Structure 1
Amino acid sequence: MELKRMMAGGLLAAGMMVLAPVMAGTLPDHEEFEAALHVPFQAAGARNITLHFSYPGAAQGTPVAWEVELLGPNGAVVRSWQGQGAIRAGGTQAQVAWDGRDASGHALAPGYYTVHMRAVALDANAVGVIGTGLPQNALAAARSKAPQLIEEQRYDVQIGSVAAPQMPHFTALRHTGSASAGPMIQAQSVGASGLPYTIYYGNLHSQTNHSDGGGDVSTCVDAQNPQSAPYGPADAYQYALNDGLDILMTSEHNHMYDGSTGTNTSASPTTAHNLFQSGLQAANTFNAAHSNFLAIYGLEWGVISNGGHLNIFNTPSLLEWEYNSSNQLIGDVFTAKSDYGSLYTLMKTNGWVGQFNHPASSGQFNVGGTDLGYSADGDQVMALAEVLNSSAFSHNTTETETSHASYEPAFNILLERGYHVAPSSDQDNHCANWGASYTNRTGVLIPNGTALSLNAFLDAVRARRVFATEDKTGQIVLTANGHVMGERFSNSGTLTLTVNYASSAGHTAQRVQVFEGVPGSNGTVATTSSTATTTITPANGDHFYYAKVTQEDGKQLWSAPVWVTQGAGGGDTTPPTVSASESGSSGTITLSANATDNVGVTKVEFYVDNVLKSTSTTSPYQASLDSTTLSNGTHSLVAKAYDAAGNVGTSSTVSFSVSNSSGGDTTPPAVSASESGSAGTITLSANATDNVGVTKVEFYVDSALKSTVTASPYQASLDSTTLSNGTHSLVAKAYDAAGNVGTSSTVSFSVSNSSGGGATELMQNNGFENGTTPWTQTSGVINNTAGEPAHAGSYKAWLDGYGSAHTDYVRQSITIPATATKATLDFFMHIDTAETGTTAYDKLSAQVITSAGKYVTLATWSNVDAATGYQEHTVDLSAYIGQTIQINFYGVEDSSNQTSFVIDDVSVKAQ
């Protein structure tokens, strides 16, 4: 049924045909009805209200009933619309053409109004509960009998001209993520002081082919069958990095490691365990190669229709409730399905940190018989709650997705229950567009000078130094009497709340709202201010405050709360007592603190030479520091201890000395250099020895570093066309573990590139004989093991061959000159397999990854193509002339019977 038919007055046709309810049957319990709302924040006169509906797995034609109300600034209904429709594949839209007036056709007074949508899907379950399949009666029946079936969304809009708030001066925080080495954010007006944090923007909720994500964007409109899609965690991290994110969490559904949305009774616990561990390894491998990006691999635990989803950021184990037919747990640690209280306790015991994913206002996260129920353990471990997601099944890659779902009402309930949660904004990507569907991000504040790492991220999340934004160029930081959002402190007298906002894209704040509530009251969150600077005297007792900024383009930002215990000079005002000590002068040195408090210490920070080096949240308070990050000589250590009221105790300064390499290895390596070749691919070689051991060799051509090799033989390949014809100089430098450096004599060599129409080789180390550089690989792909012979030489790239669910890749970046007229990929591949029959179970794709992060499959082979010996394959790359691309070989193996894809002698020649 077409949902976009409208009456002239802006209503959908009232005389629509009535649809009989379609029995959706029993759906997988992670596939739920979703409704989202989109309406322009500002518009001159008329504007469209767009409703997005999706219900993965529901039967086609499942009816949907909806209503939209326009609420005035006082909450009164000034206009309403109703309609019905039906679920279609890939989602459904309805649209209301609103003329910008009230129900009587009168112009509305300037101000902020709220568009409120309610919708219910009439699947078999809903009809059985509310007793009607008639769409026109469904919402009324659901309101009285089962309000939890109703999806609600709200969005504020601006009518007419409304004065923008006066914003305070704010020194915007640095963003030194993947796209920048310096400050990106420019404040609207920059003040004299700033906060000692750097912002990293992330997407903390997404899936890959380890569960039901990773679908090709050209065909993906829904969740994927578990472990069936082409793209895994390593692909997701690379895509997100290319899209400008600093952090990506791939959060795989914990109950899908058996390859099923239900229970696969023939599943192997070992296979499930290995798949989870391979994801952890993929994140570790990516992080080791990309210091400017944080890859996180974790779990999305639970089921929506039976409790709710939450992310666990740092579990090393697969949590599961399903057993196979041999009564084996298909995972590592048993967790009872939908038992959130026990899960929180388990998380606390292990130091795991979590996030509430797309929380509903009712029917989820039940503890002690209460939805979104509070527990002290849950309060400690659940640090974040999503306030907004873009569509989980969007295949948009231009950050322009219009289907977004808001969870701010549930966020407020969690705060009222007593949870100390900060807001997050993620994308829940199931298609291979990680971070690219919309501009929303989660901003994480990490201390300046602290490297981006999982521990630094977790410290920031535990401290609730996190904000949510729909605009990846914006930032919001709430401060209160000098305390930064996320803090808990005691206060007496006045409290000044300051909403700090900045944008690097020139956006401005059109509206500011400061919200207040009482933790543990189960009351109502209310607006306490509409100005960016507010001074109040709270009533005695506990309070929380958070801020929301709406930009002139309608995009919103949410700050983390501050939690304030107000008293008339009362409350905990006693700071912790803390002393510091240090041991060691070289290698790994240990920073220690002894901290006590009349109530309890929440964290200890270690500062060396006034720079924050580490944060410890549990006793014994210790941190390890690499002495080589400090210069030889005397340094100072100070420890700061915090309590829950925000009181801070500072230790006396402790002086300590660093003496790196004193009395140790002072002998530099001996090294000589040589070069072979004058055109095409030339080889740089070094012979290096040391009394202890060589750690790396660097090759410099004309004083420019060209390559680094960490293992013997010390060789590197260089494209001669990157050098001019004539004489050049080569110098090799060899390093040992103590930092001693040996330098070779200068070697002169000549380059003579053809000026004619000959072909130029663009690949380096194309026979894999010179180590892994400049290839990027999953662990162990490039090897000289005897199980599979190389086409030539000793080394080759061996992908898959495990006989279990596995993904491998090997890739290299090249630039095809714009002057080329033809470019050709040529390589040799051998395929052997234990699979039988004509079904393609295991596949190898030759791909191009564009500079925009798009994966283009050039050709695909499978176990069906297995043959004796190597086969030569040629693919035309002329479409990519003038572009920097990655040549990617991507192998995916299913859960049984090995297939080995062995690649060697890879060549890309440009003519």
Structure 2
Amino acid sequence: MKTSFLFAFFLSRPALLAAASLLTLAAGAAPVVPGASAGSSSGPAAVVQHEHSEFEATLLAPYAGDATSRAQPDARTFTLSFEYPGLAAPRVARWQLDLLAPSGRVVATWQGALTLTGQPLDVTVRWPGLVDGRPAAPGIYRVRMGASTGSGDAAEDVEQSWDIGVGAIPAPALPAFQPLPTGHTVQSPDAAPAPSALPYTVYYGNLHSQTGDSDGGAPLSECKGAQEPQSAPYGPAAAYPYARDRGLDFLMVSEHNHMYDGSDGTKSDADPAKAKRLYHAGLQTARDFSAANPGFLALYGLEWGVISKGGHLNIFNTDELLGWEQTAKGDLLADTATARGDYAALYTLMRQRGWVGQFNHPATGGQFVIDGKPLAYTADGDAAMALCEVMNSAAFSNRDDESETRRSNFEQACNKLLEAGYHVAFSSNQDNHCANWGASYSNRSAVLVPNGVPLTRASFLDALRARRVFATMDKHAQLVLTANGRLMGERFDNSGPLSLQVHYASDNGRRAASVALMQGVPGRNGTVTPFAKNPDTTFTPTPGPHFYYAKVTQDDGAILWSAPVWVDQHQP
């Protein structure tokens, strides 16, 4: 994935290669499976670009220091995790880790290199809790990782960053907030939901997962990454009860749209009728399970696109299989033809059909390109795309106890989409490829449905269209932003002062450690910046359009993101 992060600070090539040789940890790269290239009907001698063959780098930065160390209570160990599934030959990856003080000044830097061979590799960096040889001053610091492999058009860059707490930090004074009822309190026969000033119920779920209908669904003991398409035993009929039994209120099974022929490429002799039957069977499974299990919503749809020179997005409510692949006879392996990589045309079709979408794990460069511009805005795209994944747990995690530590942050790319003019709320999902739907980590996407309205496909889509959504790394927490009493997700005109209130609640004893109110300008294509730490802030915006959202970090480091509000400020 490309970012705008600069890598000029990396080692010179001779020094880099020397460092790489010292850091080489394994050998024997996994081969790329031969076959036809994706999106073509070429013969079997062509080479498949595996859908998940890409550079992956994540950063684990513990929010709190080592409580066991009296001498250095703020010391901690950062873990950088690297992987390149399906790598055909060893590749050198370079990395740099920066520690930024609350002022934004870089106070510590580490860098190095390693050789990737297709197997996961970790690098640990120890910070003693010191700045300029003295204990670091209290505050919220930021740990930022830049990692890169390849060069030129083949370069793949990743930037990840997380906040950490240093020293004793006063807790923010949050406005009083009566927690909203949840799907579980609504369903419990002996627990009446608490009254609330906001007439909504919160439902938590996972909006990104795969099963054996594409490249997911493998048993945990055998799951090492993405599966060969349609090779794993567990399909949507297994995923929905699993997620329900793990406490989720909804699960989106989002199968790769180009794998319904059972391949990562194109099977020139595939049966179009079989591919379409599989997709429509998945839709029926979701409808049947939802009908038989009131209170749980089973969703089935598409993850459209490819990663290489593309970008993945989910379509939550298409009853049509979309595709671009054809058999050797020219028969379309889908219900409806959509050109590979043509995001402008797809957005137009989505708007015409009333389909609702989500940008999946977006990168800041090289994805969702229109007329040569990444993350490009169109009015049709703005109407159709409701969500942006701001944080995901590891797609190939085989953990089922919510203990996964590999997590990716996509806030920078989501902010670029907001600055481009998109009206998207944040979501947080798991992209499960193993049979652990919603169980690898505690993160969730949460939707607000009016009290008394059942959770159905229709009420869920209404919530998405209204952007009544927040993203959370903690399934026990809630975050709602209001602006002059209006709910997050709304767009309105304003004259005079604007009062933003951050409403946070936790039902497992956590507290908010910090609050950041973020601001930006839709259509400016600039930078989203923090502007206030007070969770109850009143000010008068400058004339013109603005958006604002809240970000709360808990005392355990888990983050919640509200949906934005969009305000067009007028002179009084």
Same fold (TM over 0.5): yes
Aligned residue among 424, 428, 438 for 2:431? 428
Residues 63-122 of structure 1: per-residue CA shift (max 9 Å, x gap): 3221111111222211111122233555221111221223x433211111111101123x
Q: Is the 8 A contact 1:179 1:244 kept in 2?
A: no
Residues 13-58 of structure 1 deviation map (CA, whole Å, 9 limit, x = unaligned): 9695276998977632443211111111011232110111122211
Matched, 1:409 2:412: yes
Q: Which residue of 1 aligns with 2:84?
A: 55
Structure 2 runs not aligned, ≥5 long:
1-17, 33-46, 66-72
Q: 1:293 to 1:88 in 2, by over 3 A?
A: farther
Corresponding residue for residue 22 of structure 2: 17
**One-letter amino acid of the structure 2 residue matched with residue 309 of structure 1:** H
Equivalence for 1:294: 297
Q: CA deviation at 1:320?
A: 0.2
Letter in 1 for 2:86: G
SS at match of 1:349: helix
SS of match in other structure, 2:145: strand
Gap regions ≥5 residues in structure 1: 1-12, 131-145, 570-911
Distance 1:524 1:128, change over 3 A: closer
CA distance in 2 between partners of 1:47 and 1:210 (Å)? 42
- What residue is the counterpart of 2:161 in the other structure? 154
Q: Does 1:64 align with 2:93?
A: yes
Residues 1:548 and 1:297: Cα distance change in structure 2 (over 3 Å): same
User: Which of the residues 217, 230, 234 maps onto 1:231?
Assistant: 234
2-side partners of 1:304 and 1:24: how far apart? 19
Which protein has greater RCO, CA pairs closer than 8 Å, 6+ apart? Answer: 2
Maintained 8 Å contact 1:29/1:306: no
1:100 to 129, 145, 149: 129
**In the alignment, what sits opposite 2:57?**
35
* CA 267–107 in structure 1, closer or farther in 2 if over 3 Å, else same: same
Indicate whether 1:119 and 2:141 are aligned.
Answer: no
| Cα distance, 1:129–1:308 mapped onto 2, change above 3 Å | closer
1:629-661 superposed Cα distances (whole Å, 9 cap, x missing partner)? xxxxxxxxxxxxxxxxxxxxxxxxxxxxxxxxx
Deviations 1:749-781 (A, max 9, x none): xxxxxxxxxxxxxxxxxxxxxxxxxxxxxxxxx
Kindly indicate whether the alpha-carbon contact (under 8 Å) linking 2:522 and 2:547 is maintained by their aligned counterparts in 1. yes
SS at match of 1:430: coil
Q: CA deviation at 1:177?
A: 3.5
Where does residue 567 of structure 2 map in the other structure?
A: 564
Q: Distance in 2 between matches of 1:21 and 1:554?
A: 37
Residues 53 and 183 of structure 1: CA distance in aligned 2, closer, same or farther (over 3 Å): farther
For residue 50 of structure 2, what is the amino acid of its counterpart?
A: P
> Secondary structure of the equivalent of 2:130?
coil
Match of 1:195 in 2: 198
Q: 1:275 to 1:23 in 2, by over 3 A?
A: closer
Q: Does structure 2 retain, via aligned residues, the 8 Å contact 1:176–1:184? A: no
1:902 aligned partner: none
Structure 2 CA distance for partners of 1:185 and 1:347, relative to 1, 3 Å: farther
Distance 2:381 2:440 in 1: 31
Matches within 5 A, 1:457-476: 457-476=460-479
Q: For the structure 1 residues 178 and 249, does the alpha-carbon distance in structure 2 shift closer, same or farther, using more than 3 Å as the test? A: farther
SS at match of 1:298: strand
**Which of the residues 156, 175, 180 maps onto 1:173?**
180
Distance 1:451 1:109 in 2: 50
CA distance in 2, matches of 1:24, 1:289: 44
Q: Distance in 2 between matches of 1:23 and 1:242?
A: 36
Cα deviation, residue 230, structure 1: 1.0
**In the alignment, is residue 80 of structure 1 matched against residue 80 of structure 2?**
no
Conserved 8 A contact 1:22-1:63: no
In structure 1, what is the equivalent of residue 44 of structure 2?
none
Change (3 A) 1:206 1:423: same
* Secondary structure of the corresponding residue to residue 370 of structure 2: coil
1:244 corresponds to which residue?
A: 247
Q: Percent identity?
A: 54
Whether contact under 8 Å (1:90, 1:222) holds in the other structure is no
Give the structure-1-normalised TM-score: 0.57
Question: Matched residue pairs, number?
Answer: 531
1:326-405 matches, cutoff 5 A? 326-405=329-408
Pairing 1:505–2:508 present: yes
Instruction: State the SS of the aligned residue for 2:538.
Output: strand
AA of the residue aligned to 1:552: D
Say which one has the larger Rg.
Answer: 1
1:531 to 526, 530, 534: 534
CA distance in 2, matches of 1:301, 1:178: 35
The residue type paired with residue 138 of structure 2 is P
Cα RMSD for the two superposed structures? 2.2
Which of the two has greater strand per residue?
Answer: 1
Q: Is the 8 A contact 1:495 1:536 kept in 2?
A: yes
Distance of 2:380 and 2:362 partners within structure 1: 18
The answer on whether the counterparts of 1:174 and 1:182 sit within 8 Å (CA) in structure 2 is: no
Aligned-residue offset at 1:368: 2.7
When residues 311 and 110 of structure 1 are mapped into structure 2, their CA distance, relative to the original with a 3 A threshold, is: same
- For 1:818-833, list aligned pairs within 5 A: none
d(CA) in 1 for partners of 2:438, 2:119: 20
